[in-house]
Amino acid sequence: MKARRGRWLVRAAAVALGVLLSVLALEGLVRLVPPAHAGGREQVFPPGHMMHPRRGFYVLDGEEGFRPSRTHPEYAAHGALKNDYPMARRAGVPRVLNIGDSVTHRGRIVGKLAELAPEIEWWNAGVGGWNTRQEAAYLERIGDAIAPDLVLVYLHLNDFEVTPVRFVDSEDRFVEFHPSRPRVLSRFWFVRSALYRLWVSWTDAPSGEEDLAEEVFTNLTRMERHAGQRGWAFAVAVLPPFAATDTLPEPLRSLCIERMARSLAWLGSNGIAHFDLREPVEATVRAGLPVDELPGDVLHPSWEAGEAMARYLLAAGLAELATSSSR
């Protein structure tokens, strides 16, 4: 019996060794031919790029792809932007963790919320350039330490995009590779294996709005479940383009309308608390005030639009949602 088991183990080891040697030989062969195009789109930046680890602002790590480093001047050790709130929870003081991309990070909404409702702690964990998958991973990374009563995610219409792979190549350049469709790629293997890059190219396929929406909604569900498991409330603020809708060129106008309608319908059908921020932005336009941070920048709000959205959120019950969830 022992002899038979020994022979089986020898055979299994031989098979495993044969597979390993075959993969290594194939890897070597692939490296001899011209580099495989890995589908998607690749951008290469010099070592001085802000995202390069040597700058000390960001770490290329984890599912986020990049995240603020402990030496980033704007972020504290807890992972959110620096603030004056104590880390320890204060009895009776609600805490809201705001998560999003550059709109959240720049603070035109969150800062005004803090000004209008100072009885609530408004923690800002926005990171420029992120989408919902990165936000979900970051919530799981920093949420437990911050322990909010409410997680408020700012859903931007440009979140309907593919999460890139980011790495530093052999020439010390910062590289962003954007697959053509939502998928999880290994930065480790993408950088080191020509065979893996060839597989990426073979399996790459164009994405449509359905694929992108599924990625967004999967990540929102992930964040909602993570919050719910910890007793935190969860809500989504849906950001419109920061321009009068009738001034947007096609196909951007139709795309924004479609994404807005799709997002609101999904949130409603899944019973997720949400806020439609079109009305305060449109009211700012009607008042003759600027809604874009810079002329023509439809992705970032002006201070006037930020204040209008903050006032709208509070009038729509955001403070009550945070207070009712406060421990």
User: What's residue 15's pLDDT?
Assistant: 72
User: What's residue 172's pLDDT?
Assistant: 87
Strands 58-59, 165-168: parallel, antiparallel or unpaired by DSSP?
unpaired
Burial (CB < 10 A; 0-12, 13-18, 19+), residue 29, is exposed
* Domains of the chain and any CATH numbers: 37-73+163-206 (no CATH), 93-161+207-324 (3.40.50.1110)
- pLDDT-derived band at 164 (thresholds 50, 70, 90) equals confident
- pLDDT-derived band at 163 (thresholds 50, 70, 90) equals confident
By percentage, how much of the chain surpasses pLDDT 70? 89
Task: Tell me what the mean pLDDT of segment 196-221 comes to.
Answer: 83
Nearest to 281 by CA among 250, 316, 244: 244
Nearest to 152 by CA among 233, 266, 33, 225: 233
- pLDDT-derived band at 175 (thresholds 50, 70, 90) equals confident
Task: Tell me what the mean pLDDT of segment 232-259 comes to.
Answer: 94
More confident position, 184 or 273? 273
More confident position, 170 or 125? 125
C-alpha to C-alpha distance for 179 and 40, rounded to whole angstroms: 4
Complete edge-to-edge strand list for the sheet that includes strand 121-124: 121-124, 95-99, 150-155, 233-238, 273-276
Cβ neighbours for 38, distance < 8 A, ≥ 6 positions apart: 177, 190, 197, 198, 200, 201, 204
User: What's residue 4's pLDDT?
Assistant: 65
Query: Where are any strands of DSSP class E within the chain?
Result: 41-45, 58-59, 67-68, 95-99, 121-124, 150-155, 165-168, 174-178, 233-238, 273-276
User: What's residue 288's pLDDT?
Assistant: 96
Lowest model confidence (mean pLDDT) among 12-16, 249-253, 278-282: 12-16
Give, in degrees to the nearest 5, the angle at Cα 85 between 301 and 104.
Answer: 20
Under a CB-based contact definition with an 8 Å cutoff, are residues 236 and 220 in contact?
A: yes
Give how far the C-alpha of residue 42 lies from the chain's centroid of Cα atoms, to the nearest Å: 19
- pLDDT-derived band at 26 (thresholds 50, 70, 90) equals low
User: What's residue 290's pLDDT?
Assistant: 96
User: What's residue 131's pLDDT?
Assistant: 92
Q: What is the pTM of this model?
A: 0.87
User: What's residue 246's pLDDT?
Assistant: 87
- pLDDT-derived band at 265 (thresholds 50, 70, 90) equals very high
C-alpha to C-alpha distance for 192 and 170, rounded to whole angstroms: 10
